[in-house]
């Protein structure tokens, strides 16, 4: 399926914003764009259409985007980009903690939304994430396996839920095992656009990986911090 055929869901109670984004996406040849103005409507759309990308406003009439994101994660690991007028570190961290993958602050340039959307969809396609299950691109790390082709993280023999952006970051670490990677490298490679001097995004996603693969996330042995340089996914060559 081409990137332009991917299903996109826009959730915002401001119809002017929805219309603006729909117009820009139409110009970029996206043909499957759905909209919702409330949290309950968004959940129905997600169950019915299974979108590949969600743009989610934080302030909605019947809920807030953070609460809605938690509910969405019960159904899908789809990429979620928050639209927010809140710019404090606490608000941004809250969005990531609830399962968001990215954020843009209002007022925003709609072309930036489309650029981030395209970057994610391209990288998802290149990662080989599909529903077919093969072992050609499976990375084994003792207690966990990252299967690119199946789009699965298996920890202690159990398939573990992993949001799309967290999975893509983990795959990038797997492809650069035992190498120190800076936050700038990780952001540019995985998010697909220039690093914005925002430590929160990479830091929170690294923590989300650790919560899934580490026996003790507070004392990581697989995904370790190299102080002053970045992060490294360690693999014992003897395994």
Could you tell me the residue ranges of all domains in the chain?
3-126, 138-233
Are 69 and 22 in contact by the 8 Å Cβ rule? The answer is: no
Alpha-carbon Rg of the chain, whole angstroms? 18
In this predicted structure, the answer to whether residue 131 has a pLDDT above a threshold of 60 is no
Mean pLDDT throughout 212-228? 93
Say yes or no to pLDDT of 91 above 80: no
At 176, is the pLDDT very low, low, confident or very high (cuts 50, 70, 90)?
A: very high
Q: What is the mean pLDDT of residues 106-126?
A: 84
d(CA 52, CA 6): 6
For domain 3-126, give its CATH number from 3.40.50.2300, 3.90.1150.10, 3.30.450.20, 3.30.750.24.
3.40.50.2300
pTM (predicted TM-score): 0.64
Report which secondary-structure segment, H or E, holds 154. strand 152-155
**How would residue 86 be classed by pLDDT, with cut points 50, 70 and 90?**
low
pLDDT at 223: 95
Max mean pLDDT range (16-30, 139-153, 223-237): 16-30
pLDDT at residue 20 in the model: 95
- CATH architecture assigned to 138-233: Orthogonal Bundle (1.10)
């Amino acid at each position: 399926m081409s990137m332009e055929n991917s299903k996109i869901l826009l959730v915002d109670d401001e119809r002017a914003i929805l219309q603006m984004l729909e117009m820009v996406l139409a110009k970029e040849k996206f043909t499957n764009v759905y909209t919702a103005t409330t949290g309950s409507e968004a959940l129905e759309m997600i169950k019915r259409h299974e979108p590949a990308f969600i743009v989610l406003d934080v302030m909605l009439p019947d809920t807030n985007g953070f609460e809605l994101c938690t509910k969405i994660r019960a159904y899908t690991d789809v990429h979620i980009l928050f639209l927010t007028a809140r710019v404090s570190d606490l608000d941004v961290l809250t969005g990531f903690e609830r399962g968001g993958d990215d954020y843009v602050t209002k007022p925003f340039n709609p072309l930036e939304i489309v650029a981030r959307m395209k970057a994610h969809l391209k990288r998802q396609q290149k990662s080989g994430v599909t529903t077919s299950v093969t072992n050609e691109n499976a990375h084994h790390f003792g207690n966990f396996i990252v299967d690119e082709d199946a789009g699965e993280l298996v920890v202690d023999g159990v398939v573990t839920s992993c949001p799309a952006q967290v999975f893509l970051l983990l795959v990038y670490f797997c492809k650069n095992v035992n190498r120190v990677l800076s936050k700038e490298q990780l952001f540019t490679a995985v998010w697909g656009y220039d690093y914005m001097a925002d430590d929160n995004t990479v830091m929170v996603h690294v923590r989300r990986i650790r919560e899934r693969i580490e026996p003790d996330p507070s004392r990581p042995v697989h995904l370790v911090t190299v102080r002053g340089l970045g992060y490294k996914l360690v693999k014992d060559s003897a395994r």
